[in-house]
Amino acid sequence: MWCYDPAQPDPFAGRRGVALETPQAPFQATLSRSVRLLGAFRKEQSDPDFFYGMLARDTVAQLSAYTALDGALVADIGGGPGYFTDVLRAAGARPVCVDCDAGEMMARQGAAPEGAVLGSALDIPLATGSVDVCFSSNVLEHVPDPWRMGDEMVRITRPGGVIYLSFTNWLSPWGGHETSPWHYLGGQRAAARYTRRHGRPPKNLYGAGLYAVSIGDALRWARRQPGAELLDALPRYHPHWATRVIRVPGLREIVSWNLLLVLRRR
């Protein structure tokens, strides 16, 4: 397995993918932004380019509020077809898309994103301390050992670097993904209902490609992480004034939709 080493010449220098619109205005977690994002979720399956393009531009703007991206080496863990990678590159970063599914990486353009690396989020094939930013959007709930993935993200980030980790918590309204809201009755029951209605199992099959991850567990992992300090924990899609809900056990699991953790490598 190829492993990136910052001591070697940058193999991606001068390479550029499809340029998407780069956010210019400073990031603001407003109510109107929340409404736009939550409304876009309805098009995730029917128009993924629209949904993931919007989400990628919003996410890179949010990430830019924590760290400078121009010239930064950014690992996009579970980056798949490269929506986030493209916007990161347009923002001046040097992204490395890491994904374990070659088919998923080729799904959008018939080829993997430029600079892509095939590898597992549970054993990231990048050198320790090799990236300035380690980034992952909505991947953690799809791996069987989420905190091993979190530890790996911390490992490959250089001291002083930033880890941006977000995921859809299980008890949120979208926790069951396409089987929502029936996941509240149990993941296996929700998957069985989906299969009966559509004649095929869901893409995100509970217990195989989708797992129950809680905000409580995520906060405990982040606060006890010896390799990094927690800078921020907030409901990713909510307006800034709703951040306090993260302090309320139980309620935060249901109303947050998605948790964002931002850490700095010690």
* pLDDT single digits (tens) 87-137: 999 999 999 999 999 988 998 888 888 889 999 999 999 999 999 999 999
61 and 190 in one domain? no
Q: Please count the structural domains in the chain.
A: 2
Q: How far apart are CA 125 and CA 1, in angstroms?
A: 7
Asked if 115 and 197 sit in the same domain, the reply is: no
Is 227 in the same domain as 179? no
Range of the domain at 194: 172-207
178 and 63 in a common domain: no
Q: What is the pLDDT of residues 205-263, one digit of tens each?
A: 999 999 999 999 999 999 999 999 999 999 999 999 999 999 999 999 999 999 999 99
Indicate whether 111 belongs to any domain: yes
**How far is it, in rounded angstroms, from Cα 138 to Cα 243?**
19
The neighbouring-strand residues paired with 137 are 166
Does residue 60 sit in the same domain as residue 133? yes
Q: Are residues 153 and 141 in the same domain?
A: yes
Residue 176 and residue 244 in one domain: no
State whether 176 and 98 are in the same domain: no
Name residues whose C-beta falls within 8 Å of residue 115's C-beta, 6 or more positions apart in sequence.
11, 12, 15, 85, 94, 95, 96, 97
Same domain, residue pair 144 and 177 = no
Model confidence pTM above 0.75: yes
138 and 195 share one domain: no
Residue 136 resides in a domain: yes
